[in-house]
Amino acid sequence: MKICALIFVCAVCVIAAPALHAQANEQSRAMNQPVHPFHIIGNIYYVGASDVTSYLIVTPSGDILLDGGFAETAPQIEADVRTLGFKLADVKYLLNSHAHLDHAGGIAELRNVTQAQFVAMEGDVSALESGKSFPAVNPDRIIHDGDTVSLGGVTMTAHLTAGHTRGCTTWTVTTEDSGKLYHVVFVGSASVLPTYRLIDRPNSPATYPGIEADYERTFRVLKSLPCDVFLAAHGSFYGLTEKREAMAKDPAQNPFIDPAGYQAYVVRAEAAFQTELHHERGE
Ligand SMILES: [Zn+2]
């Protein structure tokens, strides 16, 4: 995928922001098309839209739901969970990749419906609670880098990968499929939005103090994570549509097992960040 596509997909986070709690605009509607839910691997299911993702992680003691899409994605996610034969009342934890309207917009509604505990990284709490660009939602538990959420023998680990937002979180989990163990990485986002400023200057302040160092640390973290199964907050980051179609054609293959695709994504995202940094430095 080209770098411009990375920028395009997350540009909606900013472009659509002034439309307070409104329906997704034309650009974001394209990312929010209904998709038939499906089994990805092990205990992980896809319940998201065409590009804004949502994942159901199933355990013997209840389920974990990662990301809520736009506000109007929530009913779609609810229908997808039911279509797969799971119960919304079994969702015990709601997790979030980051506090932008295309990933956190549906959390308030999903929390209402499931009565699940909403778990969020400290850096994103004020954005989640403010309700500025999506329905406000107060976390039930505030976490920090390295904290875990455990349920029914499944442990999800939260890695702070800040920059895209202050509390942007990459979740990891190990899953078993056909007797094999796989490291799964759910990338938050490492995109630099067109409106972001990375360098702090008197007449052009950084998007937030320390954003440049946060991104640099994020790329170190992403490179350090073992990854067999590559998933992310946007389907376009990892070729969701292509992989879904490939799996439907040949169920014997699982294209979501893609360690090389993960490494390539990290390289691409870091290159885009470096390009932006050079641009700001006037190089
Ligand atoms: Zn975003």
Number of continuous H segments (helices) and E segments (strands) in the chain: 10, 12
| Ligand 1 centroid to residue 1 C-alpha, Å | 17
| Ligand 1 centroid to residue 220 C-alpha, Å | 20
Q: Please write the tens of the pLDDT for every residue from 238-268.
A: 999 999 999 999 989 999 999 999 999 999 9
List 55, 182, 196, 238, catalytic entry? 196
| Ligand 1 centroid to residue 10 C-alpha, Å | 5
Active site residue 140: no
- 72 in any annotated domain: yes
Q: How far is CA 42 from CA 3, 39, 46, in A?
A: 31, 8, 12
- 172 in any annotated domain: yes
Number of domains in the chain: 1
Instruction: Examine the pLDDT at 229 and tell me if it is beyond 80.
Output: yes
Q: Please write the tens of the pLDDT for every residue from 14-34.
A: 433 334 444 556 667 788 899
Range of the domain at 114: 36-281
- Quote the pTM value: 0.91
Whether the CB-CB separation of 219 and 273 falls below 8 Å is answered with yes
- At residue 27, the pLDDT reads 65
- 3 in any annotated domain: no
List 55, 124, 164, 214, catalytic entry? 164
Active site residue 100: yes
- 233 in any annotated domain: yes
Active site residue 36: no
Active site residue 238: no
- 132 in any annotated domain: yes
| Ligand 1 centroid to residue 135 C-alpha, Å | 16
125 CB-side CA count, 13 A: 13
Active site residue 45: no
- At residue 24, the pLDDT reads 57
| Ligand 1 centroid to residue 186 C-alpha, Å | 14
Active site residue 234: yes
| Ligand 1 centroid to residue 162 C-alpha, Å | 11
- 200 in any annotated domain: yes
Rounded mean pLDDT, 5-13 = 43
DSSP lists the bridge partners of residue 91 as 63
Which range among 8-22, 43-57, 158-172 shows the weakest confidence by mean pLDDT?
Answer: 8-22
In the sheet that holds 169-177, the strands lie side by side as 148-151, 154-160, 169-177, 180-187, 229-232
- 45 in any annotated domain: yes
- 8 in any annotated domain: no
List 46, 100, 159, 238, catalytic entry? 100
On average, the pLDDT of the chain sits at 92
Q: Positive or negative CA dihedral for 215, 219, 220, 225?
A: positive
Q: How far is CA 242 from CA 61, 84, 254, 256, 269, in A?
A: 33, 21, 12, 10, 20
| Ligand 1 centroid to residue 252 C-alpha, Å | 33
Active site residue 63: no
DSSP lists the bridge partners of residue 62 as 59
Distance CA 29, CA 31 (A): 5
Q: What is the CATH number of the domain that holds 223?
A: 3.60.15.10
